[in-house]
């Protein structure tokens, strides 16, 4: 860098905390999710020796996969400043399609499962971007519609998956490691590359940071938004496939409430609902925290009726610590 | 009431916003605080109003120590602050805005006595000599009248001092005049009045006394009329500005066909209009809000669709239906609202600079190239930032605007559309922006600039169009030979 570069620090007349206190607080914010995860692991492994066994850890990983994969798509949606409440219903829809086609298509049932997920996301995206309807409303309606489609076709009865090759590939294990975990790792890598290294990822952040600014700077906001919802739908397609394979069946209730867990995973991971910023690493931590919390509470034998209370409190606590109030200004 | 502040110092992190500043505010006198962005004027005002606390130093009111810990405490002691930002809630009535926070005063038997509240609000507004009736809906009033409602709100607690933090920043000159008249009225009633401003014309108009700050230190106190505008500016900037704010116009124009041409282009808010801008030319557009100037930019940028007529860019027809198509045709657009339209304050300087045309390798973002681009633009526009990775929000207003301009120049545009490019920008940064614009024009860029600052139009433009009632009212081919008054006559 040439010496001609101006080096005066940006002055600001607005209120700021002293730099050291500010950065210390930033550190707490940044490291809180991983800290929380470590604390949970420590508490549960102290309370039950079974918790840290390889087998249980693999169960945890397997349990986390569906939530995590759905939350990966949700991360893009939330960074762009939108929300997708139809995640759980799309997962059910994709699982249904995977189950219905697995007998004839075998392992290739992944294709229709992903297609139906992407199509459901496309509908969401087009109505949000072109119809200019808030994503909360669109996906709230879509959640009911997609779940309704599942109920309409299944009449509430589960559809079992019997195809051996399908089950082997999507819920089998190699060297003790569940295939679903390997698939999730692959999807994490793809999502992380998309968010951090591509122009698309930058456009997603720009839209969340200021949609009008992005529009006036020549970003094709509508197109990017549609792509984001298609991506979320695709991830749900994969999540539905993996969930169906694990349960060896698609049920009408599958994925119920998953959208809220996915949002919670993203938010607990430090991605604010206000958009513009966020990370895949955070979402991974968030999904692990939520899953480990459930798994651990079961293993230590906590009253199942009490567990929800703990989960809700942990959600609010972690946002209480990680939220950057300076940047948000008004908390609604 | 007399406010005496002695040796005030305040740091934010490693940045010293104020060091050892003393100031005396006398009743009945309008006191201007003048300085560039970052000079410490707003911080000083906020300390006086209780919004910030000094690290060291003391303040006394009429000899008694005064150390407010909040705006509310300062209010109770008779000192009120009017903010830079608009703080009117458009979903409330005028009277509710005036008395927001003290509606309980008008409670009778558990209900709100609207009539009494309206009468009281009207009485306060009348003392400001502004033409506002509490019965009017807020949406019908202009921003200057909104600001006057905020002044009435300040007066509702019967203060003895009212401080204005760059309150004219978002107003056009007609709106600002109303607010300045209100300040004068308060001064004449014997209140302590202090205001922060960049605009020397405002200081000329109402200030009795001025204090110039630079880099957190006081340059000096002066009586009105003691310094001329150049004297004030050179003390604010700390260097001689006798060469003038504006770069010289080039002797020879680039001779070629027009770069941007409007042929009877009409749109919502724009009657059929024809104009052309040549490469290398800076075409200024004057006019009141809604007169059509901003609409010309929006149509050219693809933000608003034209209803008829044709547009050509570089001789080829263009009908940008979206801003994306405009940018793709090398038309860069700098919107009027810096922080809601121009750049993302939470994003880094680099993110903003390369946002319009991110360097890419296939689908991937090319970080190395982006860093080089951003660093080159920071050096070219003299953007003061700790590095290209700095959060944009940590920059001062002038530097933020340079980032928006850099975002436009980074695509190497053929046409640059500017909506008030130096609004709320201090003198030092302004000269640098003018210099960059002239240099870009010399390279063949066609610039179309809408501005409320008539001096800027006269000083920088090669030609000026004056808009009135959605059409071109006059074309001034030799701006150097015209005056502000002549332009205002065409505008109204």
Min Cα distance A24 → chain B (Å) is 13
Calculate the dihedral angle through the C-alpha atoms of B128, B132, B135, B137, rounding to the nearest 10 degrees: -130
Give the start-to-end residue ranges of the domains of chain A: 49-322
| Residue range B248-330+413-492 in CATH 3.30.460.80 | no
Lowest mean pLDDT among A3-12, A120-129, B462-471: A3-12
- The answer to whether the CB of B30 falls within 8 A of the CB of B206 is yes
Q: What is the pLDDT of residue B449?
A: 97
Q: Do A10 and B13 touch (CB under 8 A)?
A: no
Predicted confidence (pLDDT) per residue in B445-484, tens digit? 999 999 988 889 999 999 999 999 999 999 999 888 888 8
Give the residue from chain A lying closest to B358, CA to CA.
A199
User: Cβ A218–B326 below 8 Å, yes or no?
Assistant: yes
Is the Cβ pair A276, B322 closer than 8 Å? no
A210's CB contacts (< 8 A; 6+ apart) are A276, B340, B343, B344
Q: Calculate the alpha carbon distances from A293 to A37, A258, A321, B84 in Å.
A: 9, 15, 18, 48
What percentage of chain A reaches a pLDDT higher than 70?
90
List A198's β-bridge partners, or say none.
B364
pLDDT of residue A134: 94
Cα-Cα-Cα-Cα dihedral of A250, A251, A252, A256, to 10°? -100
- Residue B473 CB partners (closer than 8 Å, separation 6+): B287, B466, B467, B490, B491
Contact A224, A194 (CB under 8 A): no
Distance, in Å, from the CA atom of B192 to the CA atom of B29, rounded to the nearest integer, reads 6
Mutate to test the interface with A, among B12, B44, B55, B367 (most CBs of A within 10 A): B12
* B84: closest chain A residue by CA: A14
CATH 2.60.120 corresponds to the domain A49-322: no
Does the pLDDT value for residue A2 go beyond 80?
A: no
B395 and chain A in contact, CB less than 8 A: yes
- CA nearest A203 in B: which residue? B355
Instruction: Give the residue from B297, B300, B305 showing the smallest Cα distance to B267.
Output: B305
Mean pLDDT of A42-66: 88
Eight-state DSSP code of residue B454 = H
Instruction: Judge contact between B45 and B194, C-beta under 8 A.
Output: yes
Question: Which of B364, B402, B415 to substitute to test the interface with A, most A CBs within 10 Å?
Answer: B364
Compute the nearest-CA separation of B56 from chain A (Å). Answer: 15
Closest C-alpha to A200, from B370, B321, B360, B368: B360
pLDDT (tens digit per residue) in A234-263: 999 999 999 999 999 999 999 999 999 999
Q: What is the pLDDT of residues B99-148, one digit of tens each?
A: 988 888 898 888 889 999 999 999 999 888 778 899 998 888 888 888 88
> Do B248-330+413-492 and B3-237 have the same topology in CATH?
yes
B39 touches B28 (CB < 8 A): no
Q: What is the CATH number of domain B3-237?
A: 3.40.50.300
Question: ipTM value of the model?
Answer: 0.82
pLDDT digits (tens, 9 = 90+) for B49-61: 999 999 999 999 9
Domain boundaries, chain B: 3-237, 248-330+413-492, 343-408
E strands, chain A, in order: 159-160, 173-174, 177-178, 249-250
**Mean pLDDT within B384-396:** 88
- Judged by CB atoms closer than 8 Å, whether chains meet at A9 and B399 is answered as no
Does B365 contact A199 at a Cβ distance shorter than 8 Å? yes
Give the pLDDT band of residue A47 (cuts 50, 70, 90): confident
Give me the sheet containing B316-318, strands edge to edge: B270-277, B260-267, B308-313, B316-318
- Residues B17 and B39: their CA atoms lie apart, in Å, by 7
Residue with the two structure tokens 């201007």? B32
B327 touches chain A (CB under 8 A): yes
């Amino acid at each position: 860098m040439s010496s001609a570069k101006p080096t005066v620090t940006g002055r600001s007349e607005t209120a700021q905390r002293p730099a050291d206190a500010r950065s210390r607080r930033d550190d707490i914010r940044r490291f809180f999710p991983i800290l929380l995860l470590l604390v949970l692991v420590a508490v549960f492994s102290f309370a039950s020796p079974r918790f840290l066994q390889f087998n249980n850890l693999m169960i945890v990983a397997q349990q986390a996969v569906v939530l995590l994969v759905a939350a990966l798509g949700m991360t893009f949606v939330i960074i762009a400043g939108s929300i997708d409440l139809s995640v759980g219903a799309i997962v059910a829809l994709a699982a249904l399609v995977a189950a219905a086609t697995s007998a004839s298509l075998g392992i290739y049932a992944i294709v229709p499962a992903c297609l139906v997920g992407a199509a459901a996301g496309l509908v969401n995206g087009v109505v949000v971007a072109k119809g200019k309807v808030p994503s909360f409303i669109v996906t709230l309606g879509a959640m009911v519609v997609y779940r309704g489609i599942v109920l309409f076709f299944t009449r509430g009865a589960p559809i079992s998956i019997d195809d051996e090759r399908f089950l082997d590939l999507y819920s089998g294990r190699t060297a003790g490691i569940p295939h679903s975990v390997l698939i999730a790792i692959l999807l994490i890598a793809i999502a992380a590359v998309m968010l951090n290294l591509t122009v698309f990822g930058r456009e997603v952040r720009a839209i969340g940071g200021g949609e009008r600014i992005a529009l006036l700077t020549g970003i094709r906001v509508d197109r990017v938004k549609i792509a984001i919802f298609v991506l979320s739908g695709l991830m749900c397609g994969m999540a539905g496939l993996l969930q169906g394979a694990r349960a060896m069946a698609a049920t009408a209730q599958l994925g119920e409430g998953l959208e809220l867990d996915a949002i919670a995973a993203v938010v607990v991971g430090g991605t604010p609902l206000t958009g513009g910023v966020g990370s895949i690493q955070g979402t991974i931590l968030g999904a692990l925290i939520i899953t480990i919390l459930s798994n651990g509470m079961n293993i230590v034998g906590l009253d199942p009726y009490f567990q929800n209370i703990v989960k809700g409190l942990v959600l609010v606590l972690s946002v209480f610590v990680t939220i950057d109030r300076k940047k948000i200004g008004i908390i609604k | 009431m007399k406010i005496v502040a002695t040796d005030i110092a305040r740091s934010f992190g490693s940045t010293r916003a104020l060091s050892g500043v003393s100031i005396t505010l006398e009743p009945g006198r309008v006191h201007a605080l003048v300085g560039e962005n970052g000079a410490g004027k707003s911080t000083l005002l906020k300390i006086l109003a209780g919004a910030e606390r000094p690290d060291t130093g003391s303040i006394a009111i009429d000899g008694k120590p005064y150390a407010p810990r909040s705006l509310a405490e300062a209010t109770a002691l008779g000192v009120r602050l009017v903010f830079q930002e608009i703080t009117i809630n458009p979903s409330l009535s005028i009277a509710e805005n005036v008395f927001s926070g003290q509606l309980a005063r008008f409670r009778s038997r558990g209900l709100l006595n609207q009539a009494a509240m309206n009468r009281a609000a009207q009485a306060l507004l009348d003392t400001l000599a502004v033409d506002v009736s509490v019965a009017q809906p807020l949406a019908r009033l202009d921003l200057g009248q909104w600001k006057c409602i905020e002044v009435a709100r300040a007066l509702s607690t019967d203060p003895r001092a009212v401080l204005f933090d760059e309150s004219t920043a978002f107003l056009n000159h007609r709106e600002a005049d109303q607010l300045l008249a209100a300040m004068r009225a308060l001064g004449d009633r014997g209140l302590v009045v202090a205001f922060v401003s960049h605009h020397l014309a405002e200081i000329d108009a109402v200030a009795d006394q001025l204090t110039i700050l630079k880099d957190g230190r006081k340059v000096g106190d002066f009586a009105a009329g003691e310094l001329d505008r150049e004297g004030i500016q050179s003390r604010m900037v700390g260097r001689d500005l006798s060469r003038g704010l504006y770069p010289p116009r080039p002797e020879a124009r680039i001779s070629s066909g027009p770069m941007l041409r409007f042929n009877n282009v009409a749109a919502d808010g724009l009657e059929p209009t024809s104009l052309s801008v040549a490469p290398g030319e800076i075409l200024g557009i004057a006019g009141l809000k809604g007169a059509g100037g901003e609409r010309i930019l929006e149509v050219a940028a693809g933000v608003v669709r034209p209803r008829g007529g044709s547009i050509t860019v570089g001789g080829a027809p263009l009908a940008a239906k979206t801003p994306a198509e405009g940018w793709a045709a090398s038309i860069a657009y700098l919107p009027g609202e810096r922080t809601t339209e121009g750049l993302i304050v939470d994003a880094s300087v680099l993110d903003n600079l390369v946002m319009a045309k991110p360097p890419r390798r296939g689908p991937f973002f090319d970080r190395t190239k982006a860093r080089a681009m951003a660093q080159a633009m920071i050096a070219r526009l003299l953007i003061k930032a700790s590095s290209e990775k700095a959060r944009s929000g940590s920059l001062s207003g002038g530097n933020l605007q340079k980032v928006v301009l850099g975002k436009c120049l980074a695509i190497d545009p053929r046409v640059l559309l500017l909506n008030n490019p130096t609004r709320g920008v201090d003198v030092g940064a302004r000269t640098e922006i003018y210099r960059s614009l002239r240099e870009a024009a010399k390279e063949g860029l066609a610039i179309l600039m809408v501005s409320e600052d008539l001096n800027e139009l006269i000083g920088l433009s090669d030609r000026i169009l004056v808009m009135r009632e959605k059409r071109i009212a006059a074309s001034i081919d030799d701006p150097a030979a015209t005056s502000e008054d002549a332009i205002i006559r065409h505008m109204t």
